Structure formats: C-alpha cells, structure tokens
Amino acid sequence: MARICEDLLFPLNRPADEEGCHWKGGAVATPAGFTGAYATFTEAGWTALTADPEFGGAGLPKLLGFAMEEMVSAANLSFSTYPLLTAGAVNALARHGSPELRARFLPNMVQGVWSGTMCLTEPQCGTDLGLITTRAAPRDGGSYRIDGTKIFVTSGEHDLTENIIHLVLARLPGAPTGTHGISLFLVPKFLVGDEGAPAERNGVVCSSIEKKMGIQGSSTCVLNFEGAVGYLVGEPNRGVRCMFTMMNDARLGVGMQGLGLAQVAYHNAREYARIRLQGRALRGPAFPEQPADPLIVHPDVRRMLLRTKCMVEGMRALAYWVGYHLDLSEHHPDPAARQEGADLVALMTPIVKAFFTDQGFEAANLCVQIHGGHGYIRETGVEQYVRDSRIAQIWEGTNGVQALDLVGRKLPMHNGRLLRRFFHPVAEFLDAHADDPHLGELVALEAKAFGRLQQATATIAERSLRDPEEAGAVATDYLRLFALTAVGFMWLRMAEKARDRLVEAGALPGKIRGGGSSAGVPAATAIADPAPAIVSERNVAFYQAKLTTARFFFTKVLPETSGLLATIMTGAAPVMALDAADF
C-alpha cells in the first residue's frame, strides 16, 4: 500500500487537481492516470481487503482498512472517494440485501469491477431526508420504477468501472411522511443479465457534474432517474435505517480522510521548516555557518508543528482503537464483548468524523501558514490540502450534525450505556497510574480534563430535560471536549508504552508495570506484548520523542478543555437570545 500511495496515487494528486473531471453527453471521464491507477489498486486486491470471503473478500480486520484509508487519503483524497463509497455500499448491501441481490452484485463490487454510490441529497433537501421526493413504484417481477433527481452524488458517474451500483432513497406509494416513509433501492447503471454481466443501460443519467472548491478528481454528479429499474433493499419504509449502515461506515472513513490530510500536511510543513532559511534563532545563530537559520528553530513554527504532530499521532491511536473495537463488535465469540465493541464504535463515530476532519482542515491551514507566501501560491501544492480538506467537514453529515448526534442520541442511549464504555476504562487507567513516577504529571492533567467531561455530561443531561436547545447550543463544544479527552487517553497509553521501552533500554529508571489487560480491551482478548526486544538507539530517540510530544499535548493542547467547559456551562441563552431579525 505504501508503494501504491507513494509511487502511483500521490504523483497523480496535483495533476488531477489541475485537470479535474470531464462531463460530456452524460459520461464522465476521470483525470489522466486514474483509470490505470484504479486498475492497479483493484488488481492488487485492496478493494477486497476487509470484505467477506463469501463474496471474494480477503476477510482481514477492519483495523487494517482504517490504516489503508488513511494512507490513500493522504496520497490522493480525490481517488480515495471511489473505493470508499463502494466499500460502504458493499457493507450496506451485505447487511440488508436479499440473498439474491448479494449473490448478484457483491462479488463484482468487492473485486472493484463494479463501484457503488449512495444517493440521498436532492435539490430541496440535504440533512432533512424526510423531505425527499424521489418516487418508487412497483413493477412486474418484483422490481420498482425509480423517478427523481439526486444531487451531490460522489462518484455517481465515471470511467473506472464497467458498472456503477447506486443505493437510492425513495418513497413508495402511500408511504408515511417524513423519514419513516423512505425505502432503499439498488439501481444499477447497467441492468445485469442472466449471466451476471452488464446488459442494457438503465434509466439513470448524469446530467452534470459540480464545479467545486476541491477534490477536483472526484466526480460529484447530478443524477436523473427516469423510469429506472430498482430493487428493494431491506424492508419497505426502513430505508433510512438501512442507509445508516453505509453512512456510519462512511463517517468513519471520512474521519480517516481528515487524519490522512492532517498527516500529509504535517509532512510537508515539517520538511519545509527544516530547509527554509529565515532569520536567526532567538538565542543566537543555531547554524552560524549558514546565512540564516531554518524555520524550525523559531518557537511559533515549532508550536504549529508540534500541535499538528501531537494531534495526528493522537488521532491515529484513537482511530485504530475504534477500528479494533469495530472488529470486536463483529467477530468476538462472546456476545457481551461484541455488544461492548459496538457500543464504543457507536459512541465514537461522530467524534471521529467531526473532530478528525476539523483537525485535518486546521492542519492544512497551519501547513500553509508555515510555508508563508509559498503556501498561498499553487506552486508548492499545499494550498490544495486546504481546499480538499474542507469537504470532509460537510459531507456524510456536517460536523454540527455529528455533535447533535452525540449529545442528542448517543449520550442518553440505553440509559448512558454507551458512555460507560469510554468512561470506565479511562477511570480505571487514571486510578491505576495516579502514582506513576514517570506518568503521574500527565495522568493528573488527563484526570482534570476527564472531570470536566464528566461535569459537562451531567450538566447537558440535566438541562436538556427542560429545554432541548440547551444541548444543541453547546453540542459542538461538547464534542470537542470529549475528543480532546479521548485523545488524551490515547496519549497516556502511548506514553506508558514509550516509558516501558525506555526502561527496557536503561534510558529511564524504574520498573515496567505488569498484570491485567490493556485498558478498554476485554480481558479475554487482551493482546500480550511480544518478548521485549533490544531497544536500538534509534528506537530510544523515537520513544523519547513520544514522551516529549505527549507532554506538549497535555500542557499546551489539553488545557483547552477548561475553556470548553466554561462555554458549555453558559448554556443556550447567549446563543438563542438574539432575535432572528437582528442578525
């Protein structure tokens, strides 16, 4: 995957941004090089990585899929949208489709021969799916006639695959109003013949593609369904529930897009700061043999770099922790452990989607800032990361909607059971490490943030019973407070591992804590560390850098939770008091 990303996808990133997609007569051509890259990507088996072996997948852990999505997104975000949407469609169809639909469509989708989309948004409605007007009428033979228009359909038309499988939300005759009357349908670009190959063209046409701020290599389409043949997926009027399978997968994937963009922005900023000569260090010349010192000697540049570094590494740990629990939720032999994993994934999905994409955009902006004027011009290519990263905060449910999902659905769900999946392992870790001679300072700072999160949670729960706007007005602040605390928990666990390795190497005095299972991992599935290896000099520097970066996070970033709590405690009044006419 690293070779594909470095040698194939990344070199296409800027040319694809310059060229964009081409629409003509209902057909879309992707930028030069995309068709060959996609063929290489699929032939190497990457679209099948985590899919069910029953349909030709490799059946590998979802955790590996998270790593793949981060890398592909960092290399070429536009390209990443094509397999990401297909993977989501595969999961939705595998979970809700009939055996006939699964057998007919999934093998080619898993292999990447066919791709997938989700068709939700219409000209008159976006997040409020209850307003959709696309219609579905029964036809002879068990199929349905689909009529309507969908907009903002990512990869809705392109030249990478021989067929495109659209998952479309539509209303059946006599269906209830609102979201309770929406059904999900599979609508292929080409109908599939008895032999399983594409046959005649279906009644779905791309009438245009959008001119966008970023992701120019990703085709964003307006699709017109005119008498198209569709097949019901799941039960009638339960389409939103079925589609949420795909949307939740996509939200985690979009979170990985934010992480990938933050990572590549950091790499660019770091390398530029190392080579760009600008002024002298405040303490005096750091490199007197040169006409000036590199940017990286300056405190404010280091502040921006360290902030991005600590967020990238902390978010990656959090993402992989969530990915691990996603695998537990699907494959653990103990039903209780599966439920615990599912609960944690459900709780953390809006946090991963919203916080990671916010940080991706912030990292891209800091990258431009570090480059100065050279970041603002097209030549260096880093301004593209700002434009590309902005969409991730919007699609698959805006980040404000994610915050509302967290406070409105996830917090009260099952009488707070989801919250306990996070709160309990954090509390246990803090109690167990409060007196740690190497980590005690960091543990104390995390404990303060955790206390703020607990206080904010209780306050929101109590106030929202009287007025739902109380939760809505502080939802974004609460999600950020939760995310920073969660990243802090990850940094504590990374600091613990780094401390243990440095003790092994004799670089730190003390003993390694032993016994028990890893925090947040069921005892039955805790993974024991391999036999300690000799820690090389290079690895000593690596682990020391981990501890130094952790200290920056806890002392320079995590204190933001104090201000977030203060804004949460002020409630809804400052937000809702101004009359609409006075804005």
Distance CA 191, CA 199 (A): 5
Residue of 69, 313, 340, 396 with catalytic role:
396
Contact indicator for 429, 492 with CB cutoff of 8 Å? yes
DSSP 86-148: HHHHHHHHHHHS-HHHHHHHHHHHHTTSEEEEEE--BTTBSS-GGG---EEEE-GGG-EEEEE
Distance CA 245, CA 223 (A): 22
The residue whose two tokens read 């013949």 is 193
Distance CA 273, CA 379 (A): 17
**Nearest in space to 317 (alpha carbons), one of 545, 495, 111:** 495
Q: Cα angle vertex 70, ends 67, 71, to 5°?
A: 90
Q: Which two tokens stand for residue 143?
A: 């199929």
**Nearest in space to 303 (alpha carbons), one of 256, 258, 369, 354:** 369
Tell me which H or E stretch contains 497.
helix 468-504
Distance CA 20, CA 430 (A): 50
The one-letter amino acid code at 136 reads: A
Q: How far is CA 291 from CA 142, 278, 469, in A?
A: 77, 9, 58
Q: Which two tokens stand for residue 155?
A: 């990869």
The residue whose two tokens read 């203060």 is 566
Q: Which two tokens stand for residue 270?
A: 């770091």
Distance CA 356, CA 381 (A): 22
**Nearest in space to 251 (alpha carbons), one of 454, 460, 479:** 479
H, E, C per residue of 45-99: CHHHCCCCHHHCCCCCCHHHHHHHHHHHHHHCHHHHHHHHHHHHHHHHHHHHCCH
Residue 422, phi then psi, degrees to nearest 5: -100, -45
Torsion sign over Cα 536, 542, 546, 548: positive
Contact indicator for 390, 213 with CB cutoff of 8 Å? yes
Distance CA 384, CA 344 (A): 34
Q: Is residue 396 among the annotated active site residues?
A: yes
Catalytic positions, written as ranges: 396
